[in-house]
Amino acid sequence: MASIEDFRMKSHELLIELDAATMEMMTLVTSKCVSGPDWDFASKRQHDAYKSWDAFMNTPNTNI
């Protein structure tokens, strides 16, 4: 069983990556660079970061 501290730390780690990935995309938007390989990479990074965080947050709790 993971402790609440383990949960908090993992959630924080995933949110840091999600925030960084989103910020990278927004930086590209302000640079008017919303297509091409840089955009594709940033978009995939943000998508993957969100999926990881969402999967973590929606993992069934078997201890209830």
The secondary structure of the chain, three-state, reads CCCHHHHHHHHHHHHHHHHHHHHHHHHHHHCCCCCCHHHHHHHHHHHHHHHHHHHHHCCCCCCC
pLDDT averaged per 10 residues, the chain (length 64): 83 96 97 96 97 91 54
pLDDT for position 62: 52
